[in-house]
Structures are given as structure tokens and as C-alpha cells.
Copies of this chain bind each other. A is one copy, B any other.
Amino acid sequence: MAIIVQKFGGTSVGNLERIANVARRVARCHDEGNKVVVVVSAMAGETDRLIDMAKSIKNPPNEREMDVLISTGEQVSIALLAITLDAMGYKARSYCGWQIPIATDRAFTAARVTDVGAEQVLKDLNDGYIVIVAGFQGVDPDGNITTLGRGGSDTSAVAVAAGLKADLCEIYTDVDGVYTTDPNITNKARKLHRIGHEEMLEMASAGAKVLHIRAVELAMNHRVRLVVRSSFNDNEGTLVTEENALMEKEIVSGVTCNIKEAKVTIAGLKDQPGVAAQVFSALADAHIVVDMIVQNVSADGITDITFTIPQADLVKTLELCEKVKEPLGARAVFGSDDIAKVSIIGAGMRSHSGVAARMFSTLAQEGINIEMIATSEIKISCVIKKKYAELAVRALHDAFGLDKVG
């Protein structure tokens, strides 16, 4: 008997009717002879309702108490699903994070899972129970309730699957799987049957919202077989798996686009050790997450650094950079939020030359100027003007033949 972890998000459990749909799907998997563990999020809108209530008292609210508050959303979901399965004649038991336990560190509102207890769940599964686990929440070493940050239920599901050494972890969502690009941008977007962990990770960090980044990291590190599929139909979904399990690597698996970043340039910096550290330490202290960083070869001991950050942090970042400008002897600080980051991702890039060249020439043919370039082993990202974002995605999707089954 296989152990299967199924995760359902907030939209899938948004009302009692949808919870009944989830229950039928879970029951079917159980009837097929599997041991089923279900991880659920809060009903859609509930977490926001609780956050708004807390913020109307104080913004930001006390973080420890915030976690006590918002973890109730998932607790309601697990109970309602268990009551529904019980009403259908199935044996079901729900567990909060502290009961499993899903052990985390002490970082309230953004905790990381350190360990997952398997004993009670395995006992229940052997006794014929469907086990239901609250996503998004855990318990710290002092017995305080913690939560894993927005989208954390994906991480809960993978952590539970890893802890149980489950055969499969299915992430049910409102899309059919992982696509070569956003189907809203081009109708040529094609669902991938398989994608490697690292590719998925780059896709997620480059802006594809289908899976939480930390969930992919965890799946990669613990070799969890992960499937992304729709909770509204029976389509096959996308298998996220180890790279070397892929028979034939596609050169490029997907094109992503992120229009929610801004870029900042510090110009005329002295090119000497410790300069970059001073800039990015100041940003880290202000909890500003930096994405791309580009620094070019220096001419005459003077260099420019350009980096991207979330748009919402642009004003704050410019202020901070103005403060360090003088001590660092920089010439100027400027920024813009009129940018889009377009990325192509594919494990096959490693062994195929010319991928970058084809990307740059494709953009050039469309008359799109490239403002920044950053590369990893399996990803190339270009920052361009925001107005060209969709044009670039469609052109690259065509250029790499992503509409054709690989």
C-alpha cells in the first residue's frame, strides 16, 4: 500500500461544497488501496480576514500572537474535512501542527520546518484512518505555535511526505500543472508532463506561482516525488522529479516573467573589497530581499552595481542607498520600477551551447533592449522595459519551440 500525501489549497476548500469535493477525491484515493494523508490550507479569504483584524489593532501586530491567530484558519479546515469524511462513513482524524508535531524554528510568521513526527500518523494509517494535517503551521522548541509564511501549506505537505517517506506528494491547485509559460500571455503555453526539481525551483523564483519555492527545495533535498495537478478535474498534472530521472532533458522547459520588481543602480563606486558588502548589509538589515545583482568589470577602479528588489521596497531602498552613497564615495543612485524580468529555464542548457545567444537575438529581433543580464546553470534572466514583457515571453516561447511536445 502506497502512502500518498494530498495537499489542497484555500480555493479547493473555500466552502462546504468544495470541501465535500475534496473529501470525495480523498476517499477515492483511499478506496483505491492507498494510505492517504491530507494537508489543507485555510478556507479562501479566512487568513486575510484574520490578518486584517489584527492589523486594525496594530500594524505590524505582535508576531507570536499573529501566529496564534492565523493558525486557526487551517484548524477550521481540517475539522470540517474530518467531519465531512466521517459523515461519508470514513475513519478520519485531524491534527494541528503541534500534534504531529511539525517542529519548526522560532521565526514567528516565517518559520522553517526542522522535523516532522511520523509515529502517530503511521499508526493511524495502519489502523485504516485517513489522516488530515493542518498546513501552514508548526510548533517551536518552546511549544509556541508558529506559521510558515504565505503559501507555507505546500511546504507542510512536502515536509509531511518527507517525514513519512511517502511514495507521492500531490499538490492540488486551481491550474492543471506546470506550464511552459503563463497561459494568460500566450495560448501556445503547454503543460509539462515532467520537470526537474532545479528547473521548478528556478521557475518558482522567476515568478511562476504554481508551487512555493521552499516546498520545491524541500522536495529536492528529501527526494520527494511531487505532482502538481488540478483539484477541479482529473487531468494528469506535472511530475516534479529528480533531474537525472528525466529521460530526455528539454533544452528549455519554460519561460517566466516577473513584472513586480524594480531596479536600483549605484553608479561610480570605488571597485575595492567590502563595498558590495556594505550596500547589501544595509538592505538586509532593512529586510529588503534582493533578487538579481549585476556588477560589471571596472574601468579605472570605478564600477556600477545594479540590483533588483520588490517594487514595494523601491522608495525605502533608494533612501538607504542615498545614505551609503557618500561614505562609499559613489557618484549617483537611481532606480526604476518600469522593468520586467524575463527568464528562460531548462536543465538542458547545461550541455547545450548557444542558448543565451538565441535568447538575446530573439529579443533583438523584436527590438527589445536588454538592460540587465544574469545567468545560472539552468536559467538566463534579462531585465527589459515593462511594456515589452508579454511580447518577449511570446517570442521566446516560439523561439525555443515550447509549444511542441518535447
* A interface list, Cβ under 8 A from B: 16, 20, 50, 53-54, 56-58, 61-62, 64-66, 68-69, 71-72, 75-76, 78-80, 82-84, 86-87, 92-94, 96, 98-99, 143-145
Residues of B within 8 A of A79 (CB): 54, 65-66, 68-69, 72
Closest to A69 in B: B79
CA distance A87 to B82 in the complex (A): 37
Q: A64-B93, A143-B99 are in contact. Are A54 and B83 (CB under 8 A)?
A: yes
CA distance A83 to B86 in the complex (A): 36
Assess whether B99 is in contact with A86, with CB atoms less than 8 Å apart: no
Q: A68-B78, A75-B72 are in contact. Are A83 and B98 (CB under 8 A)?
A: no
Assess whether A68 is in contact with B82, with CB atoms less than 8 Å apart: yes
A-B contact pairs, 13 of them (CB 8 A): A53-B80, A54-B80, A58-B83, A58-B86, A61-B87, A65-B79, A65-B92, A68-B78, A68-B79, A69-B75, A69-B83, A72-B75, A98-B98
CA distance A84 to B56 in the complex (A): 10
Interface pairs A-B: 5 shortest CB-CB: A69-B79, A58-B87, A72-B72, A62-B86, A68-B79
The A interface, classified by DSSP as helix, strand, loop or mixed, is helix
Q: A53-B80, A56-B16, A80-B53 are in contact. Are A68 and B86 (CB under 8 A)?
A: no
Of B57, B68, B144, which is within 8 A of A87 by CB?
B57
Residues of B within 8 A of A68 (CB): 75, 78-79, 82, 94, 96
CA distance A45 to B164 in the complex (A): 39
Assess whether B99 is in contact with A82, with CB atoms less than 8 Å apart: no
Closest to A134 in B: B68
Residues of B within 8 A of A16 (CB): 53, 56-57
Known: A16-B57, A61-B87. 5 other contacts (CB 8 A): A16-B53, A20-B57, A54-B83, A57-B83, A65-B86
Residues of B within 8 A of A144 (CB): 99
CA distance A293 to B336 in the complex (A): 83
Residues of B within 8 A of A84 (CB): 57-58
Assess whether B76 is in contact with A72, with CB atoms less than 8 Å apart: yes
Assess whether B83 is in contact with A65, with CB atoms less than 8 Å apart: yes
CA distance A201 to B83 in the complex (A): 36
Of B57, B76, B143, which is within 8 A of A80 by CB?
B57
CA distance A144 to B100 in the complex (A): 11
CA distance A64 to B83 in the complex (A): 9
Assess whether B76 is in contact with A61, with CB atoms less than 8 Å apart: no
CA distance A93 to B65 in the complex (A): 7
Residues of B within 8 A of A65 (CB): 79, 82-83, 86, 92, 94
